[in-house]
Structure 1
Amino acid sequence: MVDLKGKGIIYEEDDEPIQLFDEDDAHTIREYRMSLIGKVLNPKKQNVEKLIQYMPTQWKMQDRITANDLGNGKFLFNFASEEDLQAVLTLQENSVKNLKNIGRKLGHVDTIELEAGRLLINVDTRKPPVFKKKVQSPVGEEVTITIKYDLLFKHCTPCGLLTHEESYCSKKVEMMKAQTVKA
């Protein structure tokens, strides 16, 4: 060992290999085999505490999952059963399929942002955009989803077309005439 210039830095000239040990990790594997560990990628926008409260409810497993904030944007979900864990792991695959299925009803799907639940879709601008759509879950439950469009400016609200603004809408004029006749 050499002390360089009295700075207290010690360099080893020893080239002998470091001995590693084969440890039995069976206990650790057994303890965490029904766990998911994750990390938020954007901690300024993603709150771990809210995530660990929200996700078990979203999965409808709030009474069968324990969740822990591990610090530094990391979290742990412990599942009560292998079936619950597998159901959550297949949700992502199903989510991509479902987003594609919804997107195909609106136009041509270009890009999917699964984490944000967003799609980039090429739509036919000659048709009005769809803002609400009914969807049916695999168990038959029907709900209405709201579709939001980014950067949708100056479209006609009465007829929904993107080709003109409300002030130039012939449908609006017809609707106003019909209301005037009824009055």
Structure 2
Amino acid sequence: MLMRQMTTTQILLYNSNLVRRLKRTTLIGRIMNPEVQNIDSLVTTMPRLWKLEGRVKGMGLGSGTFRFDFEREEDLLEVMTMGPFHFNHWMVSIVRWERIIHKDYPSSITFWVRIVGLHPDLWTYQNIRMIGDQLGTVEEVDEGNAMVNVTIDSTMPLCFEMPVKFETGGGDVLVKMEYEKLFGYCSFCFSLRHDELSCPVSDLCN
């Protein structure tokens, strides 16, 4: 019984250490458009773009997902400042490893989004934050430039415009969104996961 307890303790300790290491030095990712994005090419190319050849190892995980294991957490943190990520003219979701089991994980992409059509008198933190909340999870607000840093769910269509009613009164104001570093999306349904030729909405329109 004691031997069995020791073995269980050792396994739990190993798993705990593994989880801590993965959280510290591993990124998990997903390609958006498997028709034009190749996992093997991506895991070979990205370390070179990051100037980390020999210091990070990438591998495919199947179902359009992949991981990168870093030797140093400092390198991982530096890479995360380079987002959002794209490969072969389509977006890629890359996040720090979490113990999440879901068919769409990971799906988040963080963009800086410029709010266009907002009168300067309405350029307040609260208004920009309110619009950002409709897009996804707000990470940061740049009030001076009417911009919001927001994490979106890539399984959902992008939002490029919306009517907004402000507390100051008056009718709805149509505001538009400009996503920085945006590559590849369907012009019919605004999905990040296919082009117009593969769009089910475009089939309905024809």
TM-based fold match above 0.5: no
* TM-score, scaled to structure 1: 0.43
**Larger RCO: Structure 1 or Structure 2 (Cα < 8 Å, ≥ 6 residues apart)?**
2
Greater Rg, structure 1 or structure 2?
Answer: 1
* TM-score, scaled to structure 2: 0.39
